[in-house]
Chains A and B, each alone.
Chain A
Amino acid sequence: MNAFEYARAASVAQARELVSEKPGAVLKAGGIDLLDHLKERLVEPPRVVDLKSIPGLARIAAAPDGSVRIGPMATLAQVGADPAIRKSHPALAQSCREAASPQIRNVATIGGNVLQRPRCWYYRLESYKCLKKGGDICYAVGGENRYHVIFGGGPSYAPHPSNAAVALVAYGASFVLEGDKGPRTVAAGDFFTLPTKDPQRENQLQPGEVLTEIRVPAAAGWKSSYDEIQERADFDWPLVSIAAAVKSEGGTVREARVVLGAVAPIPWRSIRAEQALVGKSLDEAGANAAARAAVVGAAPMSDNDYKVGLVQTLVRRTLLSLA
């Protein structure tokens, strides 16, 4: 890594100041993703501003109405183990518990998890100057793309890496971002952006903006679950993941959310699968219909068409587990 200055911020305002006065300065939360970037020189910041020193940013507050406010500095371990969240938003807790490994979850924050950069192996190595790094080709096209996307690809095909984001989109969460013009709130479903907009970015966080809170609305009456398929049991990324939520009445699904992870450059909400469920009962036939609908429009690359089958299996299994 390059030599940089290390600064501890005492407040969000000071963090923003410390970043804006040094062009190229970066924020550090747990540092899991940032250190990988530093070590591989994907970023060479003049200054690293640590958010850990800001009081109160790791707080988890559950309101009586069932909604939850999560400080961005809460660790994945904390969110995964939080009794209120486990009860009110089980898919979110599961998504955090399934990520990475225990050591990483003890350090990684939920804010950093949502804002981490993709894991495409070309992006992660300095030597490949790909589109996401301002280069002019995508090496995954015609290259080693077994872990890449089957939805929403182009011109970059790197899957969005965050487990938590998948669950947050499913629950209709929103992010509070503090920038020059004060705080703004953005729905998780709008926050993540496709590479067609800008292949170098995965979301609409502006330079110097700090994520200060994650708001998750109450999910009373919903049944929800997160699940994933991975090659190894631990220390691994999902090949495909899902957060699904359904609200039923008298055995009939009234509302549904199906969000897929690891298959698109953003958490991939499958409106088709949701529509296929509404008005049906959550049985084998309903789950199968949703599974089929979920892969309509899938565009696998040369080496990853297996993900199409995995999506169907995962959609079917997860929905049936909610019956």
Chain B
Amino acid sequence: MAQEQKPPEVPTVTYTVKAGHASNPQTMEVHAAQGDLKPWDLDSKLRVVKGRQPRLDGKYKVTGRAKYTFDISMPGMLWGRMVRSAVPAGQILKIDTSKAEALPGVKAVWTSDARTVRFAGQDVAAVAAVSPEVAEDAARLVQVTYDEASFVTDLEKAMADDAPLVYEPDKIPGPKDIPRKGNVLGPKPPGRGGSRGDVDKGFADAAVTIQQTYSVPTHTHSPLETHGVIAKWEGDQLTVWASTQGVFTVRDGMAEALGIDRKNVNVITEHMGGGFGSKLAPSASGSAFAVVACKLAKQAGAPVKLMLDRHEEHLCTGNAPSALMTVKIGAARDGSFTAVHYRSFGSAGIAGGAGTGGPAGSLHGKNPNLKIEEHDVFTNAGPAAPLRAPGHPQGAFALESAVDEVADRLGLDPLEVRRKNEASPVRLIQYDVGAKAIGWERRNKKPGEGAGPRKRGIGMANGNWYVIARGSGVGAEVRIHRDGSVEYFSGAQDIGTGFRTAMAMVVAEELGLKPTDVKPNVGDSRWPEGPGSGGSNTTNSVAPAVRLAAHDARMKLFALAAPGLGAKAEDLDAADGKIFVAASPGKSVAFKQTAAKMSGEVIAAVAERKKQFETYRQDLAGCQFAEVEVDTQTGVVRVIKVVAVNDCGFPINLLTTESQIIGAMIQGVSWALWENRVLDRNVGTMVNPNLESYKVLSSKDMFEAVPIVTEIANAGNNTSAAGIGEPCIVPTLGAVANAVFNASGARVRTLPITPDRVLAALAEARRS
């Protein structure tokens, strides 16, 4: 990703915006860069944006015409395959590729220079051959000799004083000024939100204090399309088709690793089969496979396709860190918090970045005293990668379970306790909306009070995220052709979120067309630059540039229409395929007719995104309500319904925004109830590297998913869009756990909530 430079001071223009939620509009002033447009706000009469537009590529996807990286093939193409370390720790003594090289059909071989093995699944060697079968056979012929070392894969065991060291102390990744001992790095300085007040005093003032420890195992992203690329050289020109969330990240990463100029690298991602954060690196967090594919292609003088298999996908392409979180909350009798102490240890495998303190830093903003301590624990396992609001689903599960435990102790309604501590006006609205949609009054007043062995219950939890946007280095181009056809170009990728459709809606809004009139061109590094899709920033980084380009094209077209309509260009408007005088819509001319007047063949408008400006809220709010049924004799949990209430600024396309939320609920329920990477405790290798025993939600487990978008005119950019992909998964885990408690009285503090854990928690509840 291009380094975000500190934007230079630019001249600004002041706009007055009607911001916030329609039920409580707030007038605010924003200082946009000169040339930027006034942001869409509560007064804007939008015709297309905020509507429900089915994906423009939907029909290609369901008919199989959409080509994913996996589907691409070309004449003379070779098949690459990686060889990965079979042991979790040690030294590589020898990599013997002679037998592989001798196999007929093998065209290139690569070996890693790294000799220290820190996790099972690390890159060791690779081959390229004329067919996937020969490549597989060749990879098996590579003989690797290891000097194995002792290892540790378990989070808690890695924290012990006598644990085998994953890194020598001076090699631990992370800032040098953070304390380190053994495999533990921390406490790290608190991130967003930070610590405040005096927790000791807060706990002394508390009427009740609870302290509990919660844990979440490692979760793998498991996108349907695994990581992979096709690399093709033409002279010194490299083209890479990549299943990535960042075409420009891949471009820059390949250029750097191969020592070539960025302009000689072209990266293409037309359709992408899921990433959830794992596809933000140039290759992957735990493998340089894309660079290796480029090297193999160069060596062989032929294109090389290298797609990882499902097994590799689990081992080396990232995961969401495990976490062990101790939450202490002090509260007054009325439920208002006097102090929160959040302490977490998490393992991102051989990588850092296992913090989970984000929700503690942002939620319950009225609590005066907060202390957050986060620690990274290194283990001999594949490095983590961002996964949908990194660290937040885990952190919110722990924190929001603890909040429920406070409510239970005080005999208060858990929703009331949250209202008492709520600082966000948006979430206060969401509480009412969500409670109504789930029927909050139906929950058990006493957990587990339902009759019979199969008991239902309702729980809720909060989540948070942030407005993250790239304010510079993002562009877009809109073209109107003489025949009236319109297309736009953005190099940024559509990772399945519906990005290409949303941008077409922005163009259609400005030009008075239907989204289906606009041809999208996305996912190609030859087109205007865009961000990597991380931090829920794609739409709100790119849409403002698209709008500016479309607006520029609109004004050029209005200039062509104005003389005929006897009006000035500024007095025109466009809708329904017509350009008309705003004050007397009867005076109109067809869009197509106007386009035919252009002197050349095309009106091309290119724009750059202007700086981010003031927002109504810098945090994104969300809360979710879950209804579950717990079979108290078997411990089996079924999710009946989840209501998700989330805010994302203005949803450009309400339909795909809701799809994002539904997807997050599914992934969150799956995380809460099933997903669990299991590493053998004695051997250190994964026992479930597949989608059979690494269990994800099955179709029959699907519940009623109700996504509710709280529309907020948020400003910040000229579209008022913020982000949605990540925030909507943050509350789900906690909501399910709290619903299980409400249904059955079983407080399960370790995910996933499997039958054995439910039965054990029920037995514990009976004892106490």
Contacts and interface: CB of A to CB of B under 8 A. Distances in A.
A232 B700 contact: yes
Given A231-B755, A234-B700, A142 B682 contact: yes
A306 B756 contact: yes
B53 to A, nearest CB: 32
Interface stretch (B268-276, B281-289, B559-567, B634-642): B634-642
B633 interface: yes
Contact of B682 (A119, A139, A229, A309): A139
Contacts of A101: 698-699
Contacts of B760: 306
B699 A234 contact: yes
Interface string B660-686: 000000000000011000101111010
B634 A310 contact: yes
B636 A144 contact: no
A232 B669 CA distance: 12
A146 B678 CA distance: 11
Interface string A234-245: 111001000000
A121 B693 contact: yes
Contacts of B680: 122, 128, 139, 143-144
Contact of B695 (A139, A142, A231): A231
Contacts of B700: 232-235
Nearest to B632: A313
Contacts of A271: none
Contacts of A144: 678, 680-681, 687
Nearest to A137: B682
A269 B158 CA distance: 44
Interface string A1-29: 11100000000000000000000000000
A206 interface: no
Contacts of A239: 755
Contacts of B701: 232-234
A122 B680 CA distance: 9
Interface string B204-248: 000000000000000000000000000000000000000000000
A125 interface: yes
A3 B674 CA distance: 36
A221 to B, nearest CB: 30
A304 B638 CA distance: 21
A217 B682 CA distance: 47
B111 to A, nearest CB: 21
Contacts of B681: 142-144
A3 to B, nearest CB: 7
Contacts of A122: 680, 687
A58 B754 CA distance: 38
A78 to B, nearest CB: 21
A122 B679 CA distance: 11
Given A121-B688, A139-B680, A233 B638 contact: yes
Contact of A310 (B683, B688, B697, B755): B755
B96 interface: no
Nearest to A312: B633
Interface in A110-164: 119, 121-122, 125, 127-128, 139, 142-144, 146-147
Contacts of A229: 634, 636, 755
A229 B638 CA distance: 12
Nearest to A142: B682
Contacts of B633: 313, 317
A232 B683 contact: no
B161 to A, nearest CB: 24
Contacts of A128: 680, 683
Interface in A231-261: 231-236, 239
B133 interface: yes
Nearest to B682: A143
Contacts of B688: 121
B694 to A, nearest CB: 10
A148 to B, nearest CB: 12
A199 B695 CA distance: 28
A56 B254 CA distance: 58
Contacts of A2: 137
A306 B759 contact: yes
B144 interface: no
B95 interface: no
A122 B689 CA distance: 11
B682 A127 contact: no
B468 interface: no
Given A127-B685, A143-B680, A233-B638, 4 more contacts: A101-B698, A143-B683, A306-B756, A310-B635
10 contacts: A3-B133, A101-B698, A121-B688, A125-B687, A125-B689, A128-B683, A147-B693, A229-B634, A229-B755, A304-B756
Interface of B: 86, 133, 137, 633-636, 638, 673-674, 678, 680-683, 685, 687-689, 692-693, 695, 697-701, 754-756, 759-760
Interface of A: 1-3, 101, 119, 121-122, 125, 127-128, 139, 142-144, 146-147, 229-236, 239, 304, 306, 309-310, 313-314, 317
